[in-house]
Amino acid sequence: MSAFVVAIANQKGGVGKTTTALSLAAALVRLGKRVLLMDLDPHGCASVHLGHYPENVPFSAYDLLLAETYDQELWGRSLLRGEDGAMDVIASNVKLTELDLDLRGRDNKGVLLKNLLGEASGGYDYVILDCPPNMGVLLVNAMVASNLLIIPIQTDFLALHGLRLIFDSIRLLNKVLPRPVAWRALATMYDRRAGACRRVMLLLRKKLGDKLFETVVDLDTKFREASASGKVIFDIAPDSRGAREYMTLAKEILTL
């Protein structure tokens, strides 16, 4: 049986996308789940955060997506095993920026990841995809492969404008997919002291209803400290507000 695939995407940067991918994956591990984190962002922030630098990673998501068919040996070589029960990782590579050109003319190029994970993800309960911030073959593959698309939204009025891009992309995909993309939004970087943030939260609740997770992720300096240490927030501050909120999010997802 294949894993439940969660794509984390927003076509606006700086909304907590990679933090969400890393923290959610780590929370699911702490709930006893077998988790694979796949970094599809050519910037490779999730990979570097975990200490997997491109120059030290011989095989990456790029190689797996470029392959004509599922190659078990290549998958094994690309898989970076987590220590002490941590998440496994498929790292990014800057060559992912060239994938649109490299796959030009390839048939069914929008379902490459779905087919790959259908073959390879049976050993996991969850696969978390950290997606690129721009529409292209990578983001299309992630959305098509996902059982759930999570859209992190910074609680800021400018961030609301960026939602139009990804909603437009979802609508376009839904015209050709056999089933619509299942999605939910996640409010991030919430500052309870700021009236503007509170107004955005009210607007999100009104507009999105049950498409918005109950969990809200507050501002927490521990995320920055974890990033500087090359760790996830649970490693440095498991009782912090941010850690508790991503654990709550993970538990919400388990009920879906």
First to last CA, the chain: 17
Provide mean pLDDT across the span 118-145: 95
- Sorting pLDDT into bands at 50, 70 and 90, what band is 1? confident
Q: How confident is the model at residue 134 (pLDDT cuts 50, 70, 90)?
A: confident
Residue 192 CB burial class (10 angstroms; 0-12, 13-18, ≥19): exposed
Percent of the chain beyond pLDDT 90? 84
User: Is this structure's pTM higher than 0.75?
Assistant: yes
Write out the two tokens for 10. 């927003």
What integer pLDDT is reported at residue 245 of this predicted model? 98
What's the pLDDT score for residue 43? 94
Q: How far apart are CA 194 and CA 26, in angstroms?
A: 29
Q: pLDDT category, 11, cuts 50, 70, 90? A: confident
Question: How does residue 13 score in pLDDT terms, banded at 50, 70 and 90?
Answer: confident
Structural domains for the chain = 4-254 (3.40.50.300)
Residues 66-85 have pLDDT tens digits of 998 999 999 999 999 998 77
Q: Strands across the sheet with 126-130, in order?
A: 79-80, 88-90, 35-39, 126-130, 4-8, 148-154, 183-190, 212-218
DSSP code of residue 237: -
Of 62-76, 151-165, 184-198, 238-252, the poorest mean pLDDT is in 151-165
